[in-house]
Amino acid sequence: YMRDSYDRPRANVLTWLVSTIVAVYLVQSILVHFFPATGYWFETALGLSAYSLKSGHLWTLVTYGFLHDTGLPLQVVGYLLIIYFVGRDILPILGARRFIGFYASALAVGGLCWTAVHWRHPELLFGASAGVWGLFILFACFYPNREVSFLFFFVLPVTFKPKHLAYLVVAI
């Protein structure tokens, strides 16, 4: 049976988020390692600092979550795995717009909390931890007693309930 129009499968917002983080990480790594001056500018323009907020660069409250430490690729892989596995359960509940809105809000709130503590210091913040742990805490709210299993260091099987890890993350 042939028909002219059919719904083409579209990439969901989760795929775009993971792809964007990977693309920005690759660009950042290339710039930092091969063009240090441009890499420094790239990180300063998108990273979060008290100075950037004082200068009116409000976009850094979200863009810092797409930059990462180029020396820690396994951390980026870990964050991407958490975003993917947690996000695929949360995305159908929230929908695409609210999912991205929540992720951006988690980044902004985490960035504001960090900036409040480091207001007088010139440090630069980057990393997706606020967004990732925000998504995980939301996952724990929806599925507090679901058993989650993974291989710790690819060797030791670990099973836990999301609510217990969420309590630990909030406490830290």
Give this prediction's pTM: 0.85
Handedness of CA 56, 53, 100, 39 (dihedral sign): positive
pLDDT digits (tens, 9 = 90+) for 23-60: 999 999 999 999 999 988 999 899 999 898 888 999 99
Give the residue-averaged pLDDT of 121-128: 87
- Measured distance CA(87)–CA(90) in Å, rounded: 5
* For residue 109, pLDDT beyond 80: yes
- Measured distance CA(89)–CA(84) in Å, rounded: 9
